[in-house]
Amino acid sequence: MNLSPIKKELVDQKVKELRIPDIGNASIRELVAVVNMVEEVSGVKYIRMEMGVPGLPPAQVGTEAEIEALKKGVASIYPMVDGIKPLKEEASLFVKNFMDVEVNPKGCIPTVGSMQGTYASLMCAGNTNKEKDTTLFIDPGFPVQKQQMLVLNQKLESFDVLNFRGEKLREKLESNLSKGNINSIIYSNPNNPTWICFTEEELAIIGELANKYDVIVMEDLAYFAMDFRKNLAQPGMPPYQPTVAKYTDNYILFISSSKIFSYAGQRCGMMVISDKLYNKEYPYLQERFKSATFGSTITLRILYSFSSGTCHSAQWALTAMLKAANEGRFNFIKDVKEYGEKAKVMKQLFLQNGFNIVYDKDLDEPIADGFYFTISYPGMTGSQLVGNLLYFGISAIALSNTGSEEEGIRACVSFVKREQFPDLEERLNLFNKQFGPN
């Protein structure tokens, strides 16, 4: 008995047409292409959980400031390669207000999305020391950063953090760092894809070992303040967004506007380089890029070569959003909280229908409801689950794409509309009837 609402042959045919060898291991963009084609032919609307698109309108204060800037004519003027002064100042204030961390505006640099920031930083860190040629990824992680390493032709090592939470993280990191080949550590917090949030204890371990082994920590805060268990959006007041910057001065923070301000389309994020790292001299950077310090290499060599700065009008948008948040006029978490509320309902629908949450805890605390969650189905690999769910009108990526060692999939809640919940429930019910124990 086949209960799937979409003909198996139709999905299989589209996968074949797109020459995807194994749908379970397809990239996000490949899945998007398959689902678009199947939706068109079948007329069935998918529950789309594969891509992390914001799904909310952009922050109005940003749009208005950007329109204003364009009207004033900024489009004809090259912005400074390391960013316009008001943005640098607001960014430095933002980091002080919401993280309780002091950093000179000089180190606050806009980039073409956080993506450009990580690409530039991975390149720079990879050339700081001839002996240290490898970046350590604390996985699961954002697959595109590994693609950046591929494009850069730089080396990486990784491990799945699931079994190394809390104090166990120390031993695991020591075993990697003590080999002497690691120049940087990268992770996202809250984590894409698992929504793990590192505890203060874990961040302290990362910072302490970064100091001990002189390693740069790249903290990707694409989901800044989105651990909805705490109210992290009050300027100048605890609790603050937890950060490794409290425990080391060898860091780069990446703050994206894509999710917190729903401003993904304008591709304007920022990186925040600690004062010490910004001014640090590396003889190998001098040899490789003819520039002595980390900060000058990033700005005057790398970012200048990549794109000669970041979109001028979008920088004014980001300035306005940060300023409004700094002045307490714009609670940027209020709107995005909707993601957490949707996640709560969706998780429940999966759990009722035989699924399990894969990464379910931050030590002994249940994981927060947020932008992503991870699920598995008994007896199915992550790859089989991706394939089977496609026949039931549900799309998501396999955890194997993210460096996870667990079998399961990543569910992204942002693109799923509340009106689709009844469809999701019905499809999961059919799925469980088809594959479940009875």
Q: Which residues bind ligand PLP (CB under 6 A)?
A: 52, 113-115, 142, 188, 192, 220, 222, 256, 258, 264, 269
Rounded Cα distance between 309 and 82, Å, is 6
* Closer residue to ligand PLP, CB minimum distance, 263 or 431: 263
- Give min distance, CB of 376 to ligand PLP, in A: 21
* Closer residue to ligand PLP, CB minimum distance, 66 or 423: 66
Rounded (10°) angle between helices 312-326 and 60-71: 140
Map tokens 């640090």 to a residue.
280
CB nearest ligand PLP: which residue?
Answer: 113
Burial-class residue 293 by CB neighbours within 10 Å (0-12, 13-18, 19+): middle
Q: Could you count the other beta carbons within 10 Å of the beta carbon of residue 229?
A: 15
- Give min distance, CB of 121 to ligand PLP, in A: 12
- Give min distance, CB of 18 to ligand PLP, in A: 23
Beta bridge partners of 376: 356
- Give min distance, CB of 392 to ligand PLP, in A: 25
* Closer residue to ligand PLP, CB minimum distance, 52 or 370: 52
- Give min distance, CB of 409 to ligand PLP, in A: 16
- Give min distance, CB of 400 to ligand PLP, in A: 17
Nearest 10 degrees: Cα torsion 417, 419, 424, 430: -160
- Give min distance, CB of 413 to ligand PLP, in A: 13
* Closer residue to ligand PLP, CB minimum distance, 185 or 430: 185
* Closer residue to ligand PLP, CB minimum distance, 114 or 241: 114
Rounded Cα distance between 244 and 203, Å, is 5
Rounded Cα distance between 184 and 138, Å, is 11
- The encoded tokens of residue 261 equal 């301000």
Beta bridge partners of 356: 376
CB 111 within 8 A of CB 270: yes
- Give min distance, CB of 80 to ligand PLP, in A: 20
* Closer residue to ligand PLP, CB minimum distance, 97 or 114: 114
- The encoded tokens of residue 382 equal 């992550």
* Closer residue to ligand PLP, CB minimum distance, 373 or 431: 373
* Closer residue to ligand PLP, CB minimum distance, 242 or 393: 242
- Give min distance, CB of 185 to ligand PLP, in A: 14
* Closer residue to ligand PLP, CB minimum distance, 222 or 428: 222
The strand ranges marked E within 364-407 are 365-366, 372-376, 394-395, 397-398
- The encoded tokens of residue 223 equal 């989901």
Residue closest to 374 by CA, chosen among 392, 396, 349: 396
Rounded Cα distance between 272 and 257, Å, is 13
* Closer residue to ligand PLP, CB minimum distance, 309 or 393: 309
Q: What is the DSSP string of 202-258?
A: HHHHHHHHHHHHT-EEEEE-TTTT--TTS---STT-SSPPP-GGGT-SSEEEEE-ST
First to last CA, the chain: 13
- Give min distance, CB of 111 to ligand PLP, in A: 8
